[in-house]
Structure formats: structure tokens, C-alpha cells
Structure 1
Amino acid sequence: MAEEDGTRSEQPGYYDRLQVSTEAIDGVRVVTPAGEIDHHNVQPLSDALQSPQGRAIRTVVDLRRVTFMDSTGINTLLAAYQSHRASGGSLHIAAPSSVVIRLLSMVGIDQVIPCHDTLDSALGA
């Protein structure tokens, strides 16, 4: 439960604010997290971004429904990007919100991982 001053509380359920879905679109795995990505709830995203060992796959991370991301989310995206590249695959980011793209730009992730304004653009890359 949030305190009156708006600070976060450690009550159960508060950090369960991330849902992750995965689907295939035209042979591309699309991972769509929704909610907040932070060190308390990043594991479902990390699990969804695992690249099958030795298999080159294309993955797009659709960030349009992400409302917050901390450094844990950034590190998770970087690790997934490196893993995909090592296996000959690729990882792209699609449709980050203005808050998320600002964070990605501030730390230079948008210069490492290809970022696209829309899901369609990422799928076509």
C-alpha cells in the first residue's frame, strides 16, 4: 500500500506490476512487457528474453506499455541483446514511451540496440 506522501511501500503485490506476453509475428518473437520494470519484478522479462542456446532468433521488445524502467531493465535489455548477437540473432526495441526513450537515450542504449518508433517498423528491420 502506498503511503500518503506517495512513497512506495513494501506491501505484497506492489511490485507485481509487470506482465509479459510473448507471441510470434511473421517469424519474429515479440516480447511485450506491460507496467513497471525494476529490480523487484524484472525476472519475467528476463525469462522471456532468453535466447534458446545456439539458435539465432529475431526478437522485438515492444515497450509501448512500459510506464517505468530502472537500470535493472536497461541491464536486462543489454544482456539479451548481447546474447542474441552471440547466437547470430537480433534484438530490437519497438515503440518506447517518451519516458522510456528518454532514459534509453540518456544512457546511450538507443545507440547500441536498434530502436524503432513502431512495432511495424521494428518487425520490418
Structure 2
Amino acid sequence: MAEGPMTDSGQTGRAIRLTVVVTATDGIRVLSPAGEIDYTTGETLRQALNVTGTARPRIVVDMRQVTFMDSVGVNILLTAHQACAQVGGWIRLAAPTEPVQRVLHLVGIDQVITCRPTLREALAP
């Protein structure tokens, strides 16, 4: 996967509501989404989380700039978690904002995917 920003162009005339910057640190793919994760923007995150052809992927999603996430985002994260686990990898979430953390807790995803309070902690072994 190429590194750099990915954006959701959305519908014509609509402002961009989600960007995802992809970088790497010590062999870990770090995704930094910014904005809202929902039905209209989720494909951008889904594409950034694609691990097809990657052996033992390690991914941290830095959630600091995510202002909203609905069930679409939850499903995208769970699907990515399963895809990573199937090939011996993992996914972690870092620094979710309060509204996002509430969603993660309500649906129990924080019991399935490791959630850490900071990016530094999510990157640690």
C-alpha cells in the first residue's frame, strides 16, 4: 500500500469529511484518520486498512482526530481485525476521542481490539 494521504471525495459539492494519512513506524503501518467515519466516508478507511497480500500485518489506527464513528466504522474495524488475525497480524486503536471511545465501549469492540490511550503505547510491543 502506498503511504500518504487518502481522502474521501464524497458526493459532488460536499466537503471532504474524512482523510486518512498512512505512515510507517518500525514496520507498523500507522493510519491517522481525521473527521467522521460513517456510511459516506467509510470506504476511505476500509481501503487504508486493506491487508491483502501482506504477511503478518501490524496496524495502529490513531483515532485522535476522529470526531464521529457509527456502526459502519465499527464493522470496518472488526473486519480489519479479523483479516489481520487470519494472517498472523494485529490491529490496535490509539487515543480514541471521547465520543468514539463511548461507541467502542458500548458495542464491546474494546474487548476485541486492543485500545491504548496514546499512540506511543499502541506502538509499544
Q: TM-score, normalising length from structure 2?
A: 0.87
Structure 1 segments, 4+ long, off by >3 Å, are: none
Asked if 2 retains the 8 angstrom alpha-carbon contact of 1:62 and 1:96, the reply is yes
Identity fraction in percent: 47
**What SS is found at the alignment partner of 2:23?**
strand
Letter in 1 for 2:71: S
| Deviation readout 1:36-93 (Å, 9 max, x if unpaired) | 0000011111000011325111100000000000100000000000000001000000
CA distance in 1 between counterparts of 2:73 and 2:13 reads: 21
Unaligned runs of 5+ in 1: 1-9
Per the alignment, residue 85 of structure 1 pairs with 85
Per the alignment, residue 64 of structure 1 pairs with 64
How many residue pairs were aligned? 115
Per the alignment, residue 12 of structure 1 pairs with 13
CA distance in 1 between counterparts of 2:78 and 2:52 reads: 17
CA distance in 2 between counterparts of 1:106 and 1:36 reads: 18
**What SS is found at the alignment partner of 2:93?**
strand
CA distance in 2 between counterparts of 1:42 and 1:13 reads: 15
Per the alignment, residue 4 of structure 1 pairs with none
CA distance in 1 between counterparts of 2:97 and 2:46 reads: 20
The 3 A distance-change label for structure 1 pair 88 and 116 is: same
| Deviation readout 1:3-47 (Å, 9 max, x if unpaired) | xxxxxxx87314x21000100011110011000000001111100
CA distance in 2 between counterparts of 1:42 and 1:99 reads: 17
CA distance in 2 between counterparts of 1:11 and 1:103 reads: 29
